């Protein structure tokens, strides 16, 4: 069955040939976009939806989250807001709660967060393991994640568990743990940071993942100049995420590479770290993505819209740059060119807004604007309905 979306006030395509256009329409068939043009020239279809002048843009592509967990860390959040600096120590609290929770609890919580993200316009969601940190718990987390999200990343190298020798744990992650989770995951990640894993340890973990056929991702330069950015570029990682503390050399390395700098502004607000230097990265020619980093400790939000608004209001991106970062650029970091863009042949992952244009995403901060969402061409319900 073919579906026409018509009377689109502003269509943001992320396609350099089409850009942002007005009074537009598009046709969806078998989960793909098959026609784009002026509403007045729309072809005959089986069904039509009049959007009444709403803006339409690609669904959000959220490439950094940690939604398989149990427990609550609001006390840690309160402590940070009272002046305590984030130092990654709260991860152990979530690990303990996640290990003791039953699988159905983990599945129910993760599915609820996925549904919440979808209502806000997210049509592609990545999540990571990393709150198990032993073989059985990491496998269970990966299995649950595989059921509810679009892409799963193995983050056994999140932190070294208390009481475990670092050398022994790195060997566990790059050996038996990696083998056990491999059927469920697409990529491997490591927290390359003081208090977590050194550059050399991170290289060992990532190399093992690459040898196992996984894409590479890196948590890097969140709390300081950790060397994570340089390592990500060296190994050809698809993304390096956080990027709060970058030297001029780091920015140049990213600009000269295909590694995407994924910035996590909601996390930066919560940890009170400086924002990643989005403007400098873009001006240098680097590719910048935005993601939520949804997790119970440092960024408990599924709202990509909030991250887009923050990037515009606080990080000096234009609205068009911020939307691109949260859609097409994020898709590139997943090695995908069929999502995050509206063009003929792309997957019909779309959202409509209760607004005439994308500027309202930052012009009306904090207001949920997504009215309709389509994933693979299928409506997943009026958002907020």
- pLDDT at residue 186 greater than cutoff 90: yes
Confidence of residue 89 (pLDDT cuts 50, 70, 90): low
Q: From the centroid of its chain, how far is CA 279?
A: 19
Q: Determine whether 186 is exposed, middle or buried from the number of CB atoms within 10 Å of its CB (0-12, 13-18, 19+).
A: middle
Per cent of the chain over pLDDT 90 is 92
Whole-angstrom distance, CA of residue 175 vs CA of residue 109 = 29
The answer to whether residues 58 and 338 touch, using CB atoms and an 8 Å cutoff, is no
Q: From the centroid of its chain, how far is CA 312?
A: 17
Helix segments in the chain, DSSP class H:
74-81, 91-100, 103-119, 135-148, 166-172, 178-181, 199-211, 228-235, 248-255, 265-271, 278-284, 304-315, 319-325, 328-333, 360-363
The answer to whether residues 95 and 156 touch, using CB atoms and an 8 Å cutoff, is no
Helix segments in 149-260, DSSP class H:
166-172, 178-181, 199-211, 228-235, 248-255
Per-residue pLDDT reduced to its tens digit, 289-318: 999 999 999 999 999 999 999 999 999 999
User: If you ran DSSP here, which 8-state letter would residue 292 be given?
Assistant: -
Whole-angstrom distance, CA of residue 197 vs CA of residue 195 = 7
The count of C-alpha atoms lying within 13 angstroms of the C-alpha of 311, restricted to the half-sphere facing its C-beta, is 34
The answer to whether residues 282 and 260 touch, using CB atoms and an 8 Å cutoff, is no
3-class state of residue 79 by DSSP: helix
| Direct distance between the N- and C-terminal alpha carbons of the chain, in angstroms, rounded to an integer | 25
Q: Which helix (H) or strand (E) holds 33?
A: strand 32-38
pLDDT at 70: 97
pLDDT at 84: 80
Taking Cα atoms as reference points, which of 51, 26, 20 lies closest to residue 38?
26
Per-residue pLDDT reduced to its tens digit, 266-278: 999 999 999 999 9
The answer to whether residues 254 and 247 touch, using CB atoms and an 8 Å cutoff, is no
Whole-angstrom distance, CA of residue 66 vs CA of residue 152 = 10
Whole-angstrom distance, CA of residue 302 vs CA of residue 328 = 18
**In the beta sheet, which residues pair with residue 127?**
152
- pLDDT at residue 67 greater than cutoff 50: yes
Taking Cα atoms as reference points, which of 270, 298, 302 lies closest to residue 131?
298
Per-residue pLDDT reduced to its tens digit, 147-176: 999 999 999 999 999 999 999 999 999 999
Per cent of the chain over pLDDT 70 is 98
The answer to whether residues 311 and 82 touch, using CB atoms and an 8 Å cutoff, is no
Tell the residue number behind the tokens 């089986």, with chain if given. 46
Whole-angstrom distance, CA of residue 194 vs CA of residue 190 = 12
Query: What angle, 0 to 180 degrees and rounded to 10, lies between the N-to-C axes of helices 135-148 and 103-119?
Result: 40
Q: From the centroid of its chain, how far is CA 282?
A: 18
- What number of residues does the chain have? 385
Per-residue pLDDT reduced to its tens digit, 222-258: 999 999 999 999 999 999 999 999 999 999 999 999 9
Taking all residues of the chain, what is their mean pLDDT, rounded to a whole number?
96
Contacts of 104 (CB under 8 A, 6+ apart): none
The count of C-alpha atoms lying within 13 angstroms of the C-alpha of 294, restricted to the half-sphere facing its C-beta, is 23
Taking Cα atoms as reference points, which of 157, 144, 217 lies closest to residue 186?
217
Q: From the centroid of its chain, how far is CA 379?
A: 21
Taking Cα atoms as reference points, which of 381, 356, 222, 357 lies closest to residue 297?
222
What tokens were used for 35? 């026609």
Taking Cα atoms as reference points, which of 32, 14, 55, 76 lies closest to residue 362?
55
Indicate the pTM of the whole model.
Answer: 0.96
- pLDDT at residue 384 greater than cutoff 70: no
pLDDT at 385: 38
Mean pLDDT, rounded, for 342-365 = 98
CA angle 340, 343, 345 (to 5 degrees): 100
């Amino acid at each position: 069955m073919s579906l026409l979306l018509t009377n689109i006030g502003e269509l943001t395509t992320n396609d350099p040939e089409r850009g942002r256009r007005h009074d537009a329409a598009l046709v969806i068939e078998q989960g793909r976009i098959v026609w784009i043009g002026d509403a007045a020239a729309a072809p005959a279809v089986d069904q039509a939806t009049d959007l009444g002048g709403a803006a339409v843009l690609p669904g959000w592509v959220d490439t950094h989250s940690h939604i398989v967990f149990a427990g609550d860390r609001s006390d840690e959040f309160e402590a940070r807001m009272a002046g305590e600096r984030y130092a990654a120590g709260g991860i152990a609290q979530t690990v303990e709660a996640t290990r003791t929770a039953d699988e159905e609890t983990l599945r129910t919580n993760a599915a609820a967060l996925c549904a919440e993200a979808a209502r806000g316009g997210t049509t592609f969601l990545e999540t990571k393991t990393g709150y198990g940190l032993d073989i059985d718990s990491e496998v269970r987390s990966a299995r649950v994640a595989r059921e509810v999200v679009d892409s799963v990343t193995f983050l056994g190298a999140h932190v070294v568990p208390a009481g475990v020798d670092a050398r022994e744990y790195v060997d566990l992650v790059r050996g038996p743990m990696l083998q056990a989770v491999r059927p469920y995951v697409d990529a491997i990640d490591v927290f390359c940071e003081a208090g977590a894993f050194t550059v050399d340890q991170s290289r060992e973990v990532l190399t093992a993942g690459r040898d196992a056929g996984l894409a590479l991702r890196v948590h890097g330069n969140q709390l300081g100049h950790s060397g994570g950015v340089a390592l990500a570029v060296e190994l050809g990682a698809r993304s390096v995420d956080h990027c709060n503390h970058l030297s001029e050399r780091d920015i140049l390395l990213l600009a000269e590479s295909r590694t995407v700098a994924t910035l996590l502004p909601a996390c930066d607000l919560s940890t009170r770290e400086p924002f990643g230097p989005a403007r400098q990265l873009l001006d240098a020619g680097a590719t910048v993505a935005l993601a939520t980093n949804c997790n119970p400790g440092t960024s408990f939000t599924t709202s990509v819209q909030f991250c887009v608004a923050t990037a515009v209001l606080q990080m000096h991106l234009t609205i068009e740059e911020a939307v691109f970062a949260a859609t097409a650029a994020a898709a590139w970091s997943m090695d995908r060119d069929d999502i995050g863009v509206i063009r003929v042949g792309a997957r019909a992952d779309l959202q409509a807004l209760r607004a005439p244009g994308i500027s309202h995403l930052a012009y009306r901060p904090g207001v949920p604007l997504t009215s309709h969402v389509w994933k693979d061409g299928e409506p997943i319900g009026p958002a907020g309905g």
